[in-house]
A and B are shown apart, each in its own frame.
Chain A
Amino acid sequence: LHQLVTVLRDRADWPPAPPSAARPALPAPPDLHDVRGQTLGRRAIEVAAAGRHHLLMIGPPGSGKTMLAERIGGLLPPLTTAEALTVARIHSAAGCAQSDGELLERPPFRAPHHQASIVSLVGGGSWSLRPGEVSLATNGILFLDELGEFPVAALEALRQPLEEGVIRVSRAGGTVTFPAEFLLVAAMNPCPCGEGVYEGACTCSAVTRARYRRRISAPLLDRFDLVVPLSRPDPDELLAGAPGEASATVARRVAGVRTAALERAAELELAPDASSLLASKLRAGGLSARGLHKVTRVARTVAALAGADAVSFAHTTEALSLRAGRAAVVT
């Protein structure tokens, strides 16, 4: 107390702050190391993390969609102080801040269930307007498992935050704008029976399939830069395959792209054979103008991850493969 009085009377400087206690070791996100096989799936989450590309994974039950989604957090760089403060503000507004007042270090990972109410997803409430899951996922990941099971209204409500990075919640009591800037990761079965990854494997009727596909509107589907078809891993590989790259290795590549190269990536030129490939796809009707833009963006991220100076033919074809899953949900 004596020390405090002296300081307040301006007779001494503030003593140095005590070193903050070691941050509580948050349970680390699961490691990519455990994922065997799944070359395409691993690649997809790496590209999603590096280029902030929204990702939709389409695969039968047991193809590792949830496993991969849970590992994206480990590939993102830790939050900066400014980001962590934003996250803390939102979390405290929602009444679910860290109890010890510590800042989060890892990007938040929110995985609302498909039966969650629309208010809990986008925010709202009857007397105090609280942020919803889309805001709680700011600077982190919003994971929607079983995308096809979410109410259509909830999915359509995602379009504003995906476009503007904010969500406006209007109620009789007033309007509040919450930040909602997240990486959207979604997973779904290719059809109700779950087996229709490639033609001939599915037992659903044509009508059931069409009804299931209609649940994901074309504008929503367009928000996903990456639409990846996943398949069940080969049993041999699952049991005896070599473990894949660890999260730390991939995270280093991702961090490299996200810091300096991200601005540079936007300026990467397309190699002549790459642009003529895209032109031919465009002419053949296999690609829309919007699709072209998306593929180019993804191809640039792929090239930046490889440390290349230009977007090559192979980068472009890889980007095309990373959205080939659209065929399973577009009629």
Chain B
Amino acid sequence: VSAVGAPDLPAEAFAVALASLPSMGPARLRTLLAAEPPDRAWERASRGGTTSRRDVARLWQRHTSLGIAVLLAGGPAYPERLADDPQAPAVLFCLGDPARLGTAPTAAIVGTRAPTRYGIGVAAQFGADLAAAGVSVVSGLALGIDAAAHEGACGAGAPPIAVVAGGLDHPYPRRHERLWERVASSGVIVSESPAGAPTEKWRFPVRNRLLAALSDVVVVVESRHQGGSRHTVDAAIARGISVGAVPGSIRSTTSEGTNALLADGAFPVCSTADILVALALSGASVAGPPHAGRAAPSPEPPRGIERLVYDSLTTDPSSLDELVRVTGIDLPQLCGSLERLAQAGLAHDAGGWWGRV
């Protein structure tokens, strides 16, 4: 019976069809494919259903025409680092060259979808520095920290790796369509969801587990108390992957999660070098810290009244009221000095709140 209809379909086609069945989660897929080859597993699972061999062919055709590579556990292209994973995906979908999953040491940079300027800056810097040091940046292409890290990493250097929750036929979130394309062309996007799969809620924690499994080290840049980064961290800890966190202000809700991680024993990440050291300790071969002399020449120190204003600024932004009270300078003069400091690159304005750069 099995040869009738579409004799030339590869095993991957049946794996795609199996993964596309409704309510097919990674655990069930893994059990089914561990017991039988894909074509027989599909036959058994779809018995009594409405899908036919023609549907299998159509799904397969869709994936190949979209340029989505399908990797089966145990197959030749399947990434080596997932081979021993207790929850390794049975079927992995890739956009971009799957070989890029195994070429370089990997560091995940994850965090909140609503970061502060601080978090965005740090994530982008780590992304760029790690890529330049030959480390693939792994992230989830979500809003906020994830996107900032990949924006930084897409420039040059090691290929970026994105792990997404939904199918590879539709960029999600829509706002990141261009970033999605850049990552797909310079790196690789992987997912456990077949093309056309709806972006359901349960797929996100599942994605975070795969994200951790693909990384040699996980760094959380900013996260709230009960953020989604927690799933990634838990998955990393379960796999013995070291977790680092970027310390933040105790007044910032976006640093609650990361500061708590530090209290729980995550290693503090204060520079790219900290991540590279953690990678070296975890056994990955890294090129070494990027050359340190990259920082812009420090600007000339301000003088006079601007000096006074500058000294009263902290990296935590203060309101104008606070600055008036602390410096005793009247409002127009204060505003003028702040603007001059901003022009000199010494202060930044966050919606009427001013902080030191």
B339 within 8 A of A: yes
Q: Shortest distance in angstroms between B352's beta carbon and chain A's nearest beta carbon?
A: 3
CB distance from A203 to the nearest CB of B (A): 5
**A302 at the A/B interface (Cβ < 8 Å)?**
yes
Pick from B248, B252, B322: contact of A231, CB under 8 Å:
B322
The answer to whether the Cβ of A209 comes within 8 Å of any Cβ in the partner chain is yes
The answer to whether A231 touches B336 (Cβ under 8 A) is no
Contacts of B251 in A (CB 8 A): 200-201
Mark out the residues of chain A between 207 and 251 whose CB falls within 8 Å of any chain B CB in the assembled complex: 209, 228-229, 231, 233-234, 237
In the assembled complex, the CB of B355 is this many whole angstroms from the nearest CB of chain A, namely 9
CA distance A314 to B143 in the complex (A): 37
| A191 vs B119: C-alpha distance when bound (angstroms) | 20
Q: Is the CB of B325 within 8 A of A321?
A: no
Cα–Cα, bound, A201→B113 (Å): 15
Chain B 155-197 near chain A by CB (<8 Å), digits 1 or 0: 0000000000000000000000000000000000000000000
Is A4 in the interface zone, CB < 8 Å from B? no
Q: Once the chains are docked, how many angstroms separate the CA of A227 from the CA of B196?
A: 45
User: Within 8 Å of chain B (Cβ to Cβ): is A199?
Assistant: yes
Cβ-closest chain A residue relative to B254: A200
Q: A233-B321, A318-B335, A321-B320 are in contact. Are A197 and B255 (CB under 8 A)?
A: no
Q: What is the bound-complex CA distance between A199 and B144, given in angstroms? A: 13
Report chain A residues within 8 Å CB of B114. 202, 205-206, 209
Q: How far is the CA of A81 from the CA of B114 in the complex (A)?
A: 54
Stretch at the interface among A13-21, A34-42, A148-156, A178-186: A34-42
In the complex, the answer to whether B352 meets A228 with C-beta atoms within 8 Å is yes
B249 touches A314 (CB 8 A): no
Which of the residues A37, A201, A318 comes within 8 Å of B331, measured between beta carbons?
A318
Q: Does B287 contact A (CB under 8 A)?
A: no
In this complex, which of A37, A198, A205, A327 has the most chain B Cβ atoms within 10 angstroms of its Cβ? A198
Q: Is A294 an interface residue (CB 8 A)?
A: no
Bound Cα distance from A199 to B118, whole angstroms: 9
Known: A201-B251, A231-B319. A206 touches B113 (CB 8 A): yes
Contact B332 A306 (CB under 8 A): yes
Chain A residues whose C-beta falls within 8 Å of the C-beta of B339 in the assembled complex:
277, 313, 317, 320
Chain A residues with CB under 8 Å of B325's CB are 37, 39, 234, 237
How far is A43 from B319 in the complex, measured between Cα atoms in Å? 14
Contact A40 B331 (CB under 8 A): yes
Question: Does A65 sit at the interface, judged by CB under 8 A?
Answer: no
Q: Are B321 and A38 interface neighbours, CB within 8 A?
A: yes
Are A200 and B319 in touch, CB under 8 angstroms?
no
Contact A201 B252 (CB under 8 A): yes
A229 engages B351 (CB within 8 Å)? yes
**Contact yes or no, B336 A40, CB < 8 A:** no
CA distance A230 to B190 in the complex (A): 45
Q: Is the CB of B338 within 8 A of A324?
A: no
B336:A202 contact, CB within 8 angstroms = no
B317: chain A residues at CB < 8 Å are: 198-199
Give the docked Cα–Cα distance between A234 and B321 (Å).
9
Could you say which residues of chain B place their CB within 8 Å of the CB of A234?
A: 321-322, 325
Instruction: Flag if A39 contacts B321 (CB, 8 Å).
Output: yes
**Bound Cα distance from A237 to B326, whole angstroms:** 11
- Tell me which of B253, B331, B338 contacts A200 (CB under 8 A): B253
User: Is A328 among interface residues, defined by CB-CB distance under 8 A?
Assistant: yes
In the complex, which residues of chain A have a beta carbon less than 8 angstroms from the beta carbon of B248?
200
What are the interface flags for B231-254 relative to A under an 8 Å C-beta threshold, 1 for contact and 0 otherwise? 000000000000000001101111
Q: Is there an interface contact between B335 and A314, defined as CB atoms closer than 8 Å?
A: yes
Instruction: Write the B322-340 contact mask toward A (1 if CB under 8 angstroms, else 0).
Output: 1011000001110110110
Q: Which residue of B lies closest to A208 (CB)?
A: B114
Partner of B336, one of A37, A41, A313: A313
A40 contact set on B, CB distance < 8 A: 319-321, 324, 331, 352
List residues 256-312 of chain A with CB under 8 A from any CB of chain B. 277, 302, 306, 312
A73 within 8 A of B: no
Tell me whether A315 is interfacial, beta carbon within 8 Å: yes
Minimal beta-carbon separation of B88 from chain A (angstroms): 32
In contact, B116 and A200 (Cβ under 8 angstroms): yes
A202 to B115 CA separation, bound complex (whole angstroms): 11
Cβ of B97 within 8 Å of any chain A Cβ, yes or no, is no
- Given the known A-B contacts A229-B319, A229-B351, A231-B321, are A317 and B336 also in contact in the complex, defined by CB atoms under 8 Å? yes
B352 with A321: CB separation less than 8 A: yes
Cross-chain contact of B116 among A199, A237, A321 (Cβ < 8 A)? A199
| A107 sits at the interface (CB 8 A) | no
Please name 11 further chain A to chain B contacts, defined as beta carbons within 8 Å, in addition to the given A197-B353, A315-B332, A325-B352, sorted by A numbering.
A40-B321, A197-B319, A199-B254, A201-B253, A234-B322, A234-B325, A313-B339, A314-B333, A314-B336, A320-B335, A324-B352
Show 14 A/B contacts (Cβ-Cβ < 8 Å), sorted by A: A38-B321, A43-B331, A198-B353, A199-B350, A200-B252, A201-B252, A206-B143, A228-B352, A231-B319, A233-B321, A234-B321, A314-B332, A314-B333, A326-B351
Give the interface of A toward B (CB within 8 A). Answer: 37-41, 43, 197-203, 205-206, 209, 228-229, 231, 233-234, 237, 277, 302, 306, 312-315, 317-318, 320-321, 324-328
> Which 8 pairs between the two chains have the least Cβ-Cβ distance?
A327-B351, A324-B352, A200-B252, A314-B336, A229-B352, A317-B335, A199-B116, A231-B319
